[in-house]
A and B are shown apart, each in its own frame.
Chain A
Amino acid sequence: MLLVFGSSCGRPGVEKVSIKGSDTEVNLVLQLAETFMKDDPDVSIAVTGGGSGAGISALLNGKADIANSSRPFKSAEIEIASGREIDAKAIIFAIDALVLVVNPATRMDSLSLAQVGAIFRGDFQNWSDLGGPNMPISLYGRQSNSGTFVFFREHILRDEYSQDIKQMNGTAQIIEAVKSDPAAIGYVGIGYVVNKVGEVMEGIGVVKIQTDSSQAALNPVEKKHIISGAYPITRPLFQYVNGQASGKLLEFIRFELSSAGQRIVQENGYFPISSQQAQHNQSILPGL
């Protein structure tokens, strides 16, 4: 009986790693895992999405080895972690730029940060208020389990979302909606906007962002604006583990942070971590 069970579960000696969370990170981490598994047949990594909130609660419930999260822990989650004696450690493995995407029919080429906040708070109802065509604005966002939803609210809106915002299941759904709805605007991680060679996908418009009126509007697709830190909406992408990682888990994280791993990060449209962030990672998880 045991033998049957063992053989149906895979080869003996294969270490299993389960990763869950952020929808922004899921495709990237999946590719990192696939590359890692190609070189190491003794490990089996399962990557699933569900949103940062779902990943964090999976880590807290002991159902995931890594929680992908595009936001830090909330205070309630820190409390739960300490109550369950979970020592959640965060490493940063990539940098994301949040991109405002619109349907080209809105003719929105650039917006200021203040305008973006006002649009998503519902202060503007029609594109004509912003010099666009006479169409009611269709807002697309994520659900509250999304780290992007939380990050965007804390840093750009600094208030509640408009109640008219359509809460989509995932980033891919926002992209599809923006393509088909002529009055659409939404926010997504840059990995969903550009293809392998860094070109913007067909049918969506990327909005250039102006930090304030004295500054030029910057296009997030141009790497130099991200590297220099001038583009205002960037954020670290986190992976949380419980305590000091070891074995294949540590090896996988080491691979993600290696030059090969960081190359995959860039191929997916995201940005490599800085040397300070690498140092920070090492202080969090010795042995990286």
Chain B
Amino acid sequence: MKSRLFFDKIYKRIFFGAAFLSVFTLLGIFGMLLINGLNMFSEVSVGEFLLGRVWNPAAYGEAKYGILAMMASTGLVTIGAMAIAIPLGIGTAAYLSEISSPRLAAILKPIIEILAAIPSVAIGFLGIVLVGPFLANVFGLNNGLNALNGALLLAVMALPTIITVAEDAIRAVPKAYKEGSYALGANKWTTLIQVTLPSSYSGIIAAVMLGMGRAIGETMTVLMATGNATSMPEGYFSSIRTMTATIAIELGEVPFGTTHYYSLFAIGTVLFLITLAVNLLAERIAASYRKMGQ
């Protein structure tokens, strides 16, 4: 009896430690980004950093540290990717869980999951040799290294996450809801749109936000496929350089301890805060729908 209680205590400690390890890691990363990033503001004002349109730290003349254009670029590809991936992802999830035969779903699901395993560098390569020339052809452009290319590739990369999580959410809707709907004379389509999907909203929103997080943070694919021009994007046919690509390109050669070095950490901090905001928002929305469901 005594030893049972003893082990109970030990396990409690272990799991407590495991839970806090990730919290500490998160705080550690954020602290490291913040401490390094804040160093740059002795040279550059916060306003210049967040609202400046020119990013040119290794300049011929005066160095410029404005990240507005790259924030707009990250926003542009993320919104584009979500516009493609959300309807496609939720549609696929609904099909897999509600419409397709279990046998077909058993074949399709693993294939979709394999999509998540393709390395981002391979997808970026496809962007250069396949999607780029295709876009140039279809839209009559000179080249396809632009935001649309990046958005398409990111949509492909976000799809497996969205589909898997959304499908689980839809499957978790109690059978009684659907049976109630059928009993009232609703057909399969009406039941899906008006009963099943609304009652799995919290899970679907979580799926979308997870996919969005993937798109915001993705680096290699956008670095390869979007052309890396630092100018303010004018639309989906502009060449762009995202925040992640900027960090990846410049961190390799920047001299340690310079304003340029710290500015890359400051970009990392902003990126962290954006994803944090996305996650908190997702949590909020999901919680409010959960309440509605009860």
Mark A residues whose CB is within 8 Å of B. Answer: 50-51, 53-54, 56-57, 76-77, 80, 135-136, 138, 143-145, 153-154, 157-160, 162-169, 176-177, 180-184
Given known A-B contacts A54-B252, A145-B252, A183-B142, A166 and B229 have beta carbons under 8 A apart: yes
List, in ascending order, chain B residues with CB within 8 A of A164's CB.
229, 231, 239
Q: Is B229 in contact with A80, judged by CB distance below 8 angstroms?
A: no
Q: Is A53 in contact with B239, judged by CB distance below 8 angstroms?
A: no
List, in ascending order, chain B residues with CB within 8 A of A136's CB.
142
Tell me if A's interface is mostly helix, strand, loop or mixed.
Answer: mixed
Residue-wise, chain B 133-145 has the 8 Å CB interface mask toward A (1 for contact) of 1001000001101
Interface size on B, residues (CB 8 A): 31
Which listed segment binds A: B38-46, B58-66, B167-175, B189-197?
Answer: B58-66
Given known A-B contacts A138-B142, A144-B250, A154-B60, A165 and B229 have beta carbons under 8 A apart: yes
**In the complex, A145 Cα to B251 Cα: how many Å?**
10
**In the complex, A57 Cα to B261 Cα: how many Å?**
14
**In the complex, A166 Cα to B56 Cα: how many Å?**
14
**In the complex, A162 Cα to B252 Cα: how many Å?**
23
Given known A-B contacts A136-B142, A163-B54, A143 and B61 have beta carbons under 8 A apart: no
A74 — nearest CB in chain B belongs to which residue?
Answer: B255
**In the complex, A250 Cα to B188 Cα: how many Å?**
79
Is B228 located at the chain interface by the 8 A CB criterion?
yes
**In the complex, A89 Cα to B227 Cα: how many Å?**
36
Please report which residues of chain B, range 241-282, place their CB below 8 angstroms from some CB of chain A when the two chains form the complex.
Answer: 241, 249-250, 252-253, 255-256, 258
Q: Is A145 in contact with B253, judged by CB distance below 8 angstroms?
A: yes
Is B181 located at the chain interface by the 8 A CB criterion?
no
**In the complex, A242 Cα to B9 Cα: how many Å?**
59
A79 — nearest CB in chain B belongs to which residue?
Answer: B255
Q: Is B249 in contact with A181, judged by CB distance below 8 angstroms?
A: no
Q: Is B249 in contact with A167, judged by CB distance below 8 angstroms?
A: yes
Residue-wise, chain B 49-61 has the 8 Å CB interface mask toward A (1 for contact) of 0000010101111
Is B215 located at the chain interface by the 8 A CB criterion?
no
List, in ascending order, chain A residues with CB within 8 A of B252's CB.
50-51, 53-54, 57, 145
Please report which residues of chain B, range 56-113, place their CB below 8 angstroms from some CB of chain A when the two chains form the complex.
Answer: 56, 58-61, 69
Given known A-B contacts A53-B253, A54-B252, A159-B61, A180 and B229 have beta carbons under 8 A apart: no
Q: Is A181 in contact with B224, judged by CB distance below 8 angstroms?
A: no
A114 CB → nearest B CB, Å:
17
B260 CB → nearest A CB, Å:
9
A122 — nearest CB in chain B belongs to which residue?
Answer: B231
A157 — nearest CB in chain B belongs to which residue?
Answer: B60
Nearest 4 CB-CB pairings of A with B? A53-B253, A163-B231, A145-B253, A181-B143
9 interchain pairs, CB-CB under 8 A: A51-B252, A80-B255, A136-B142, A145-B249, A166-B227, A167-B230, A167-B249, A180-B136, A184-B142
Q: Is A184 in contact with B60, judged by CB distance below 8 angstroms?
A: no
List, in ascending order, chain A residues with CB within 8 A of B253's CB.
51, 53-54, 56-57, 144-145
**In the complex, A162 Cα to B253 Cα: how many Å?**
21
Q: Is A167 in contact with B229, judged by CB distance below 8 angstroms?
A: yes
Given known A-B contacts A77-B255, A144-B58, A158-B60, A135 and B228 have beta carbons under 8 A apart: no
B227 — nearest CB in chain A belongs to which residue?
Answer: A166
**In the complex, A157 Cα to B59 Cα: how many Å?**
12
Quick one: which of B60, B143, B250, B256 contacts A138, CB cutoff 8 A? B143
B163 CB → nearest A CB, Å:
32
**Given A53-B252, A184-B142, 16 additional A-B pairs, CB 8 A:** A51-B252, A53-B253, A57-B253, A76-B258, A136-B142, A144-B249, A144-B250, A154-B60, A159-B60, A160-B59, A163-B231, A167-B228, A167-B241, A168-B228, A183-B143, A184-B143
List, in ascending order, chain B residues with CB within 8 A of A56's CB.
253
B224 — nearest CB in chain A belongs to which residue?
Answer: A169
List, in ascending order, chain B residues with CB within 8 A of A163's CB.
54, 56, 69, 229-232
**In the complex, A169 Cα to B249 Cα: how many Å?**
9
List, in ascending order, chain A residues with CB within 8 A of B60's CB.
153-154, 157-160
B141 — nearest CB in chain A belongs to which residue?
Answer: A181
Quick one: which of B56, B142, B227, B232 contacts A135, CB cutoff 8 A? B142
Q: Is A177 in contact with B249, judged by CB distance below 8 angstroms?
A: no
A56 — nearest CB in chain B belongs to which residue?
Answer: B253
A126 CB → nearest B CB, Å:
12
**In the complex, A192 Cα to B138 Cα: how many Å?**
30
A127 CB → nearest B CB, Å:
11
List, in ascending order, chain A residues with CB within 8 A of B232's CB.
163
List, in ascending order, chain A residues with CB within 8 A of B258's CB.
76
A167 — nearest CB in chain B belongs to which residue?
Answer: B228
Q: Is A143 in contact with B249, judged by CB distance below 8 angstroms?
A: yes
**In the complex, A163 Cα to B253 Cα: how many Å?**
20
Given known A-B contacts A136-B142, A153-B60, A177-B145, A166 and B250 have beta carbons under 8 A apart: no
A113 CB → nearest B CB, Å:
17
B244 CB → nearest A CB, Å:
14
**In the complex, A50 Cα to B248 Cα: how many Å?**
13
A18 CB → nearest B CB, Å:
17
Quick one: which of B56, B224, B255 contacts A160, CB cutoff 8 A? B56
B76 CB → nearest A CB, Å:
16
List, in ascending order, chain B residues with CB within 8 A of A145's CB.
249-250, 252-253
List, in ascending order, chain B residues with CB within 8 A of A165's CB.
229
List, in ascending order, chain A residues with CB within 8 A of B230's CB.
163, 167
